[in-house]
Amino acid sequence: MTGRRRRFLPRERTSWLGAASGAAAVLVCGAALVLWPGSSGYRALAPDCARSELVVAGGTDVSLNNQRRQLIRDWNAGGNPHATLVEVAESTDSQHSQIKAMEESGGCGYDVLVMDNTWTAEFAAGGYLRPLDDIGRRSDFFPVALETGQWHGKQYAVPFNVDVGLLYRRDGVQAPENWSNLLDSGAALQLGDYEGLTVNALEAVWNDGGGRLLTGEEHPDQEKLRKKVFPALERMASHVREPRSARWPLAASRSYDEQKSMEAFLSGAPLMRNWPYAFSTLATEPGMRAGKRLRYAVAALPGTTVLGGQNLAVSKHSPHPDAALKLVEYLSGTDSQRLLFACGGFAPGRYSALGLSPEHHAAADVKVMTCSAAEQALKSGGGGSDGAESEEVELDEAQLTDLGKAVVQALDRAQPRPVTPHYSTFTGTFRGCVQKIFDRSGTDARTFAGAVGRSLDGRTASC
């Protein structure tokens, strides 16, 4: 690849969920601010329908060593229509509002959209996306991830990367057997006031009697919200208020996002719940290595986890829909997915990127490429990578295989968040209610059930 891979510290990273810390770029008067690949700054881009280049809009590239940006460079170096990456914001909430503003206005500023997988229903129902039913090799995608790009029987988006909750433990720390043990063990979670709180709270519900509530298109009735969901959140709150682990109080997680969780893990937290990208990021820290050996291990979370990740879609208003579809196929292709996994730390959406197939996809069958091999494969497949020398000791095949196995095991028991065109209303209401439960602010089961139930239908509510 052009340039050297550099060491990237966790404090320089923001997760795909991201803390709501301000946008890297904003929409102003119908224009976007663009990070041009290979540059160090942003400049204004007017939505020009007569432009010849493709515009890819998404959040800040948080893949290790900026592999998403590199894939755009490789696409451009391969003689394809020139593409520009627009990094509209760091936080998911800001990404959503800014991309939606362009699509809702009918603007032709974007061709390919990098979307949180919870946006599909809203964007498809709003008429912002082109169907992708004819995209090739759909059977190679993990089915549970592919389904997040569907709405009313049509495929509107395909996986770019998947995310599942993983358990990280320091050397000498025993893995908890279930979610309650995890809370008792002093784990660093993500309980700050952002999407991470919704994710962690849903996992608590699902692993404490909530079963398949608040997942998919079937929304629970008031009785189930009162009798199943609310009590599970109260029990989680009791762990937060009265931590069982004096070594690392769970209450500290109330200010954590993914980055702060990693900082806590580096500082001594025995366990951490985080996404797959944390595995590679932690490996860049000298304190987390003993020579080539890692001083931590990774596994699937005990029980059920949230299925996160980002999808690729083609804007309904793209002036170049055919070229945009080819770019989506390139970015979601096997070689690109291998590179994002081995070099960037993102879990792939395709079986083939982990050496699997729809017929043979057990975790024990995972076969991975190292970063160097993935770079060479992309180059051989027509990408623009030049295989530049790395300044880092890359993760070896055994380490990447451990990560791949953990991802596949977690995918087997992952569930999507609620599927609704009103997801942004739901998540804001839900996490506001969870905070009040944590704070003992007077919210009761009936109030909680009413507010959350209304939010799933897009009605403004609060606890």
- Out of 58-62, 249-253, 295-299, the most confident range is 295-299
Q: With CA atoms as reference, report the closest residue to 336 among 153, 107, 137, 86.
A: 137
Domain ranges of the chain: 10-163+308-389, 166-274+422-456
| Environment class of 380 (CB within 10 Å of its CB; exposed 0-12, middle 13-18, buried 19+) | exposed
Longest dimension (CA), the chain: 62
- Which stretch of 161-170, 178-187, 329-338 has the lowest confidence by average pLDDT? 178-187
Question: Are the C-beta atoms of residues 215 and 147 closer than 8 Å to each other?
Answer: no
Contacts of residue 143, Cβ cutoff 8 Å, sequence gap at least 6: none
Cα distance between the two ends of the chain: 51
For residues 288 and 296, the answer to whether their CB atoms sit within 8 Å is yes
Compute the distance between CA of residue 454 and CA of residue 221 in angstroms, rounded to an integer: 10
Residue 26: its pLDDT value, please? Answer: 31
- Lowest-confidence range among 386-390, 413-417, 450-454? 386-390
Place of tokens 């998947």: 162
Highest averaged pLDDT of the listed ranges 13-22, 285-294, 399-408, 434-443:
399-408
Which pLDDT value is given to residue 21? 29
242 — pLDDT class (breaks 50, 70, 90): confident
The strand pairing partners of 116, in sequence order, are 310
pLDDT the model gives residue 382: 60
**What is the distance between the alpha carbons of residues 285 and 426, in angstroms, rounded to a whole number?**
37
Residue 387: is its pLDDT beyond 90? no
Is the per-residue pLDDT at 10 higher than 60?
A: no
pLDDT average, residue stretch 222-248: 89
Q: Is the pLDDT of residue 315 over 70?
A: yes
Within its chain, how far is the Cα of 213 from the centroid? 21
Q: Look at 129-133, 246-250, 283-287, 307-311 and tell me which has the smallest mean pLDDT.
A: 246-250
Report pLDDT for 24. 29
Q: What are phi and psi of 166, to 5 degrees?
A: -120, 155
pLDDT of 381 reads 64
Higher pLDDT, 208 or 20: 208
How many Å apart are CA 253 and CA 235, to the nearest integer? 16
Say if residue 308's pLDDT is above 70. Answer: yes
Q: Is the pLDDT of residue 428 over 70?
A: yes
Coil, strand or helix at 3: coil
153 or 34, higher pLDDT: 153
pLDDT band with cut points at 50, 70 and 90 for residue 385: low
Entry pTM: 0.87
Kindly state the average pLDDT of the residues 181-197.
92
Question: What percent of the chain stands above pLDDT 90?
Answer: 69
**Predicted confidence (pLDDT) at residue 108 exceeds the cutoff of 50:** yes
Cβ burial of 290 (10 Å; 0-12, 13-18, 19+) is exposed
Q: Is residue 444 pLDDT above 90, yes or no? A: yes
Nearest to 265 by CA among 160, 168, 154, 375: 168
Confidence of residue 47 (pLDDT cuts 50, 70, 90): low
Check pLDDT > 90 for residue 167: yes
For the chain, the C-alpha Rg in angstroms (whole number) is 21
Please determine, for residue 56, whether its predicted confidence score (pLDDT) is greater than 90: yes
Q: How far is CA 422 from CA 188, 419, 426, 452, in A?
A: 30, 8, 6, 12
pLDDT at 392: 58
Q: How far apart are CA 272 and CA 266, in angstroms?
A: 10
Taking residues 277-288, what's their average pLDDT?
Answer: 93
The mean per-residue pLDDT over the stretch 258-281 comes to 95
- Rounded to whole angstroms, the Cα distance separating 123 from 141 reads 21
Task: Name which CATH class applies to 10-163+308-389.
Answer: alpha beta
Q: Specify whether the CB–CB gap between 265 and 188 falls below 8 A.
A: yes
Mean pLDDT of 316-321: 95
User: How far lies 389's CA from each of 79, 320, 372, 376, in Å?
Assistant: 24, 36, 9, 12
Q: Output the average pLDDT for the chain.
A: 86
Residue 354 has pLDDT above 90, yes or no: yes
CB atoms < 10 A from the CB of 316, how many?
A: 18
Dihedral (Cα; 434, 266, 305, 450), 10-degree rounding:
10
pLDDT, tens only, 25-36: 333 333 444 444
Q: H or E element: which one contains 234?
A: helix 230-241
Residue with tokens 């809009």: 57
Rounded to an integer, what distance in angstroms lies between the CA atom of residue 231 and that of residue 278? 31
Say if domain 166-274+422-456 classifies as CATH 1.10.3720.10: no
Same fold yes or no, 10-163+308-389 and 166-274+422-456: yes
Average pLDDT over residues 115-125: 96
